[in-house]
Homo-oligomer: A and B are copies of this chain.
């Protein structure tokens, strides 16, 4: 997963149920690999690599304390993920009827000068690639 942007790394890390469980566990306090493994149905090496993934997404940090390495939750990157999703809140939060949604889409399209379902017959052959805001 080399060259992956931060946001992708975070979403990718969250896509695994085991890692979400690990994060939930760390929310209750720092823990070692052995402790986390004791509560999971997988081997210790597997847990170790899940932690490596989480560390790669900077969702955890780890400190060596003598013989042990404790994992610590670093929730900051979750803010970025939350912010990304929040931009879509209007699309699920409002009680949009199908017509309202349609009109909203049309307005957004006109605002952005984008081709919509009304003129699918002449697709927008814009040359500019889409970008993430």
Contact = CB atoms under 8 A, between A and B. Distances in A.
Contacts of A100: none
Contact of A91 (B75, B81, B106): B75
Contacts of A31: 114-117
A129 B47 CA distance: 13
A70 B12 contact: no
Contacts of A30: 105, 116-117
Contact of A35 (B82, B123, B131, B132): B123
Copy number in the complex reads 2
B130 A24 contact: yes
A43 interface: no
Contacts of A112: 28
Instruction: Categorize the interface residue count of chain A.
Output: 35 or more
Contacts of A87: 27
Task: Pick from A11, A65, A106, A131 the residue with the most CB of B within 10 Å.
Answer: A11
Interface string A12-45: 1011110011111101111110110011110000
Contacts of A128: 39
